[in-house]
Amino acid sequence: MILTVTPNPSLDRTYEVPALDRGEVLRATAERMDPGGKGVNVSRALAAAGRRTVAVLPLGGAPGALVAELLAGQGIEVAPVPVAGATRSNIALAEPDGTLTKINAPGPELTAAESESLLSTVRTQIHAQVHAQVHTQVRTQVRTHADSVAWIACCGSLPRGLAPEWYAELVARAHHAGARIALDTSGPSLLAALRERPDVVKPNAEELARAVGRPLVTVGDAVKAAEELRTYGAGSVLASLGADGQLLVSDAGTYFGFAAVAAVRSNVGAGDASLAGFLAAGGEGPDALASAVAHGAAAVQLPGSVMPSPADLDPSAVTVTADIPLDRPLTEPAS
């Protein structure tokens, strides 16, 4: 079972439009409404693959109730943390050429009590899954059997009211309970969490450049930056390089994965689908990287933030190699 934590979830509305003309009345050709947030998307991708997942997230107001309803409809167990503020609503405008314009609301400001409740709910979920497996409250058995929660995926930006060190606290508590952590965040919250040694971090090229404080122009630059994050405390680094593929840098070696995509329809949630594929395949090694690339490639060919099902995947299109093209320029250099 994979637990996901999304501190700042959303209700996402996606509209497909022929063109984005400022000041004009736009007629959408299609629309979708999905539960959103990076950890939520990871849970959605796991559920689409038939994997059991529990989503921990703060929910408030009518949008929060709708997010919970939509998740339940997709077969996802929800561990809600009630908050006073309303869950944010986001809007995305998708054009035929793949250009995506997003308007993300800030979301509610969490109180100190709500922040602690979110942390406590994660701990409760870990222990609940362990106790369901071993039928005992004995501490030593809890630690021995904590692999009943295979991974905890902590994903997304932090809402107002949560300090950058919040993820670091979550990683520390989860490790104390014996769980493995995959962290997908950026900026100060990523750097603060590295001191607690998350098992996997998943930056994109821009986030990776920001973390090391220098631009990335080639695949080799990205490899060096990922290696630097490991010296800061990351166990493994799964780096998304957009159209150029993905990197995995770990104790087991460095691997590069790529899959050709005929047409990009929407890249919303593609990185989250990649992380879901990586964790579902065990969360380590080239096979897990191949799964991540296949999930990401499938996601960008689907509308809005639709997560791929096994029928959408094309593993034969994926190439994973230890022969890293270090000198290959990035299609979109990260500054």
Active site residues: 272
Half-sphere exposure of 159 (CA within 13 A, CB side): 28
CA distance 115 to 83: 9
Closest CA to 155 of 4, 53, 332: 4
> If 0-12 CB within 10 Å is exposed, 13-18 middle and 19+ buried, where does residue 175 land?
middle
**Concatenated DSSP letters of 25-89:** ----SEEEEEEESHHHHHHHHHHHTT--EEEEEEE-HHHHHHHHHHHHHTT-EEEEEE-SSPPEE
Handedness of CA 190, 193, 194, 199 (dihedral sign): negative
In sequence order, the 6+-apart residues with CB closer than 8 A to the CB of 75 are 47
Amino acid at 50: G
CA distance 7 to 225: 27
Q: Reduced to 3 states, what is the DSSP secondary structure of residue 169?
A: helix
Handedness of CA 176, 109, 65, 302 (dihedral sign): negative
Taking CA atoms, 256 is separated from 157, 224, 234, 302, in Å, by 27, 13, 18, 24
Q: Are strands 216-218 and 236-240 parallel, antiparallel or unpaired?
A: unpaired
Q: Give me 168's structure tokens.
A: 């670091």
